[in-house]
Amino acid sequence: MKLSVIGAGYVGLTTAACLAQIGHDVFCSESDLEKLAKLQNGEMPIFEPYLELVIKLTQRANRLRFGSTEDAIAWGEALFICVGTPPLPNGDADLSAIEGVARAIAKRASGYRLVIEKSTVPVQTGAQLRRHLSVHRANGLKYDVASNPEFLREGTSVEDFLHPDRVVIGVDSPRAAEILRGIYAPIIQQQFTCPLHSQCPKHKSPLFLVTDTNSAELIKHASNSFLAMKISFINMVANLCEAVGADVNKVAQGMGMDPRIGSAFLNPGIGFGGFCFPKDVQAFIRIAEKSGCDFTLLKEVERINQHRVEHFVEKLRKELWILRGKRIGVWGLAFKPDTDDIRFAPALAIIRQLLSEGANIQAYDPQAMDKCRSELPEITYCSDLYRAAEGAEAILLLTEWSEFLTADWGRLSTLVERPVVLDGRNALRREEVIANGFQYLGIGGVSEGTLSASSMVEV
Ligand code: UGA
């Protein structure tokens, strides 16, 4: 099928490449001309595992092309809107880019188009889109509007697209449902050439859920908000563990053994970041407010998360006393591993706080340093994790990239000024760190210089 994807950010680019990979003829547009030129020259504007490979494969097969919004509108029978919906100062999602695309579609398209919202939007955006298309349409445009929320995680977005747990579509006409069913048939049946696995692991067929547009929109915001709530919950449990002398890793392990709770998203740390959770929680609070529902629960989720930065810096202050003039080694800048995305990254908030107190920061991240340089020009960027540790009075693990987890602690002990490690993600092998003479400070009571009894008792 001829499909268009409007907007080549993380979501749009993955969507376009993967739809082409499963056999569709895809046109992907980007309004940022610099970014568009990069894509047309075969350069990647972002780091996302396997995405470059899929783009190359599908371009070679002549199933993916990049160009203008106008050409995208002319190309596809179905148009996926993947433009940004950043937060406004009051927490609302800024829908002006969506409105702009809707207006362009209304003015330029003729015949029939299925307009699909894939960007995360507040509930009832589909209804607004429908009204907008009706008011501004020219050329006898006939259309349906559908919601098809994405559940892609940065760092694993290609895998998530091709092997999802679920595909949700929100439609208000049988025609729209039929088109979307056709688009996703290769994914639902798991029948396509997989660029990731020579033999795909036995994935169960994804669930396909058809709802009305409002419900599909809500599923997305409710899912992200729920996951954020899980993270804030375990972070509060971590605080309690610190206060009473328990080990949050063990508590989370025990909780996660209950299938009703599940072990995912119970990793305590310096809080959630990225461009999705912080803005989606905010937007969901605003949607509830506007609809007359007081979602105070989510305000707490947000407040707990914001406090993680200060809580972590306070741990460092307790250890080093005065931060002014101290050299601190920072491992990790991205909001999570396997991405170069630094938007709302807790690492950056922590660094800003340390800088404001006069610390000297030397940082290393495998992918995110280029994006960080303009945001934080006052820190030293190092070529590897060992350089970042040289002469440091503390090493802070802020993003759990796999290369940090396999660091040579014997070598590190000869490089640092003072052997102190603050593990902001409870990700390091604590025993190994301690065995090499380091003082280990984790999150939620996982901090002793010697192993606690609780950590030695295996369940
Ligand atoms: C999230 C959702 O997981 C996706 O399903 C959704 O499609 C996406 O937002 C989106 O709305 O587009 P993503 O932002 O890529 O994906 O990142 P996550 O892997 O969900 O992590 C979010 C943050 O939570 C990270 O900062 C991570 O470090 C933190 N986190 C995650 C924790 O602190 N603890 C955990 O147990 C899990």
Pairwise CA distance, residues 359 & 13, whole Å: 39
For residue 339 and ligand 1, the question of a CB distance below 6 A is answered with: no
For residue 266 and ligand 1, the question of a CB distance below 6 A is answered with: yes
For residue 444 and ligand 1, the question of a CB distance below 6 A is answered with: no
Work out which ligand 1 atom sits closest to the CA atom of 154. Answer: 15
For residue 15 and ligand 1, the question of a CB distance below 6 A is answered with: no
Residue from 82, 226, 231, 251 whose mutation best tests the ligand 1 pocket (most atoms within 8 A of CB): 231
User: Could you give the 3-state DSSP secondary structure of residue 226?
Assistant: helix
Calculate the alpha carbon distances from 196 to 159, 187, 202, 414 in Å.
Answer: 7, 14, 13, 40
**Catalytic one among 18, 82, 276, 372?**
276
Nearest CA to ligand 1 atom 6: 151
Work out which ligand 1 atom sits closest to the CA atom of 274. Answer: 14
> What integer pLDDT is reported at residue 448 of this predicted model?
56
How remote is the CA of residue 265 from the centroid of ligand 1, in Å?
8
For residue 56 and ligand 1, the question of a CB distance below 6 A is answered with: no
For residue 336 and ligand 1, the question of a CB distance below 6 A is answered with: yes
Work out which ligand 1 atom sits closest to the CA atom of 399. Answer: 28
User: What number of other Cβ atoms are within 10 A of residue 411's Cβ?
Assistant: 11
Model-level pTM? 0.93
For residue 272 and ligand 1, the question of a CB distance below 6 A is answered with: yes
Pairwise CA distance, residues 364 & 105, whole Å: 44
How remote is the CA of residue 302 from the centroid of ligand 1, in Å?
14
Q: What is the DSSP letter of 427?
A: -
Nearest CA to ligand 1 atom 19: 153
Is the torsion defined by CA of 105, 125, 13, 77 positive or negative?
negative
> What integer pLDDT is reported at residue 108 of this predicted model?
93
Nearest CA to ligand 1 atom 2: 153
* Long-range contact set of residues 407-411: C-beta below 8 Å, sequence gap at least 24: 409/433, 409/435, 409/436, 409/438, 410/436, 411/386
> What is the chain's percent helix, strand, coil content, to nearest 5?
45, 15, 40
How remote is the CA of residue 269 from the centroid of ligand 1, in Å?
13
The answer to whether 214 and 124 have CB atoms below 8 angstroms apart is: yes
Is 293 annotated as catalytic? no
> What integer pLDDT is reported at residue 203 of this predicted model?
62
The answer to whether 213 and 145 have CB atoms below 8 angstroms apart is: yes
For residue 287 and ligand 1, the question of a CB distance below 6 A is answered with: no
Pairwise CA distance, residues 333 & 55, whole Å: 27
Pairwise CA distance, residues 123 & 188, whole Å: 26
For residue 179 and ligand 1, the question of a CB distance below 6 A is answered with: no
Nearest CA to ligand 1 atom 17: 153
Residue from 14, 118, 154 whose mutation best tests the ligand 1 pocket (most atoms within 8 A of CB): 154
The answer to whether 105 and 113 have CB atoms below 8 angstroms apart is: yes
User: Could you give the 3-state DSSP secondary structure of residue 398?
Assistant: coil
Contacts of 22 (CB under 8 A, 6+ apart): 162, 186, 187, 192
Write the secondary structure of the chain as one string of H (helix), E (strand) and C (coil).
CEEEEECCCHHHHHHHHHHHHCCCEEEEECCCHHHHHHHHCCCCCCCCCCHHHHHHHHHHCCCEEEECHHHHHHHCCEEEECCCCCECCCCCECCHHHHHHHHHHHHHCCCEEEEEECCCCCCCHHHHHHHHHHHHCCCCCEEEEEECCCCCCCCCHHHHHHCCCEEEEECCCHHHHHHHHHHHHHHHCCCCCCCCCCCCCCCCCCEEEEECHHHHHHHHHHHHHHHHHHHHHHHHHHHHHHHHCCCHHHHHHHHHCCCCCCCCCCCCCCCCCCCCHHHHHHHHHHHHHHCCCCCHHHHHHHHHHHHHHHHHHHHHHHHHCCCCCCEEEEECCCCCCCCCCCCCCHHHHHHHHHHHCCCEEEEECCCCHHHHHCCCCCCEECCCHHHHHCCCCEEEECCCCHHHHCCCHHHHHHHCCCCEEEECCCCCCHHHHHHCCCEEECCCCCCCCCCCHHHHCCC
The answer to whether 82 and 116 have CB atoms below 8 angstroms apart is: no
How remote is the CA of residue 29 from the centroid of ligand 1, in Å?
26
For residue 344 and ligand 1, the question of a CB distance below 6 A is answered with: no
Q: How many helices (H) and strands (E) does the chain have?
A: 19, 14
Phi and psi for 229 in degrees, rounded to 5?
-65, -40
For residue 299 and ligand 1, the question of a CB distance below 6 A is answered with: no
Nearest CA to ligand 1 atom 1: 153
How remote is the CA of residue 230 from the centroid of ligand 1, in Å?
11
Mean pLDDT by 10 residues, the chain (459 residues): 97 98 98 96 94 97 97 97 93 93 95 96 94 92 97 96 97 97 96 90 84 97 97 98 96 97 97 95 94 96 98 97 97 96 97 98 97 96 98 98 98 98 97 97 76 40
How remote is the CA of residue 213 from the centroid of ligand 1, in Å?
24
